Chains A and B, each alone.
Chain A
Amino acid sequence: NAGVTQTPKFRVLKTGQSMTLLCAQDMNHEYMYWYRQDPGMGLRLIHYSVGEGTTAKGEVPDGYNVSRLKKQNFLLGLESAAPSQTSVYFCASSFRQGAAYEQYFGPGTRLTVT
């Protein structure tokens, strides 16, 4: 039981390049989330999904797109990377959304955009 995994762990992009971050969970969770973590700001929600085939915007969605084609996978895409997207990205999943349903976090992806 691997929990939540993320691929890749590290990536360096040049401005304008595109990439996709992959999140996978093996806990049969309905809900999945993408956060970014910047120094001194805690984690901020980018996009989330309440089930296969559904996505919704979070607090900071601009410049990102997501897809949830399979229940176990949640992809985060950057179509044209900008230096402001340099951050650590965390994926999380939960059985449901809300108070009693704990989110489980992946190990993170450190992205640098030059």
Chain B
Amino acid sequence: ELKVEQNPLFLSMQEGKNYTIYCNYSTTSDRLYWYRQDPGKSLESLFVLLSNGAVKQEGRLMASLDTKARLSTLHITAAVHDLSATYFCAVVSDSGKLIFGQGTTLQVKP
């Protein structure tokens, strides 16, 4: 059974700092999504990572995928308050379903 674990679950950081959110998964998969969720809102797709070594960047966020280590990272560079949200990774199982991590709540303080 595929399990997806994120850490940390909560992250409070100062503006301008860098940090990384980790997403580990338990069985083979080479497809992974990162989503952002603002309080009371739906999920917004950030990145789709489709192969080993894939790296995608959008603004201050960069996501990477290492399928051999079963690990994806979401790196935040020079955080700003607007990045405050909950971030989810989700991995596609061998049956084609999305399995979500618990989410990481990011709070960026001025």
Which of the residues A40, A58, A103 comes within 8 Å of B102, measured between beta carbons? A40
- Shortest C-beta distance, B53 to chain A (Å), equals 16
Which of the residues A42, A48, A58, A90 comes within 8 Å of B42, measured between beta carbons? A90
Q: Across the interface, do A90 and B102 meet the contact criterion of CB distance under 8 Å?
A: no
A105-B42, A107-B42 known; A97+B96 contact, CB < 8 A: yes
Q: Helix, strand, loop or mixed for chain A's interface?
A: loop
A-B pairs with CB below 8 Å: how many?
A: 47
What is the interface residue range for chain B against chain A? Answer: 20 to 34
Residues of B within 8 A of A98 (CB): 31, 92, 96
A residues sitting closer than 8 Å to B (CB atoms) are 40-45, 48, 58, 90, 97-100, 102-108
B residues sitting closer than 8 Å to A (CB atoms) are 4, 9, 30-31, 33, 41-43, 45, 48, 50, 88, 90, 92, 96-98, 100-103
List the 5 shortest-distance A-B pairs measured between CB atoms, nearest first.
A99-B31, A42-B100, A98-B96, A97-B96, A43-B100
